[in-house]
Amino acid sequence: MPLATATLRRTRRLAAASLLAAAALSLTACRSGGDPAPAASSSSAGDPTAADGGAKGGSGSAPGKGVSRTGAGKTAASGGGGQGGASAGNKGVGGTWVGTLKWLTEDKLTVAPKDGMEQAFHLTDSTKALGAAALCEAPDGRVHTDGSGYGTTSCSLADLRKAARLGSVDVRVTVVNGAATKVAEHYHP
């Protein structure tokens, strides 16, 4: 019986340690609260889930390859991203990225530029999704785009999530404080 008791204790300890490890990983993946992380020093360069700036800034750090960040009418390939996650009180990344829409979680997607790092962003109820053909169709069955070739047909967040799971839809994503305000499909005839 002592051997069975020792084995049971070891099994319980192992189960408890596994549970703690899983909880710790899920908390660090979300970054939904706590202290903001420094933008350039501790963020992982290849981490597509980093909501603290895909492009690194400063004179001593290398700019993010191919990251297209625009704001106030200017384009910056390097520049300090925001810090922290998209939770209230923390400033998240902001800018505009052009690339392929990809799935990460139910409320977190990424945009992958052709050259450079993926940028993660959160979906909110106020995220506006605009499609041309692949994201969603217009009720009249026609393709509606603006002058730049981006869709103007209003789509649901469910359409956006479905397209992200496919991983083949090109989009332009506008992000403010880590949350997407607008995702527009780029139409390819």
Residue 176 lies in a domain: yes
Q: For residues 189 and 103, state if they share a domain.
A: yes
Q: Could you tell me if 90 and 16 lie in one domain? A: no
In a domain, 78, yes or no: yes
Number of domains in the chain: 2
Comparing 16-25, 32-41, 165-174, which segment has the lowest mean pLDDT? 32-41
Alpha-helix runs per DSSP H in 31-170? 157-166
Tell me the residue range of the domain where 25 lies. Answer: 1-30
Query: Above 50 in pLDDT, residue 24?
Result: yes
Indicate whether 77 and 163 sit together in one domain.
yes
Asked if 81 contacts 121 with a C-beta cutoff of 8 angstroms, the reply is no
Average model confidence (pLDDT) for the chain?
Answer: 72
Above 70 in pLDDT, residue 186? yes
Same domain, 78 and 19: no
Residue 110 has pLDDT above 80, yes or no: yes
pLDDT at position 53 is: 41
Q: Is residue 75 part of a domain?
A: yes
- Return the SS3 of 49: coil
Is the domain of 169 the same as that of 117?
yes
pLDDT of residue 12: 73
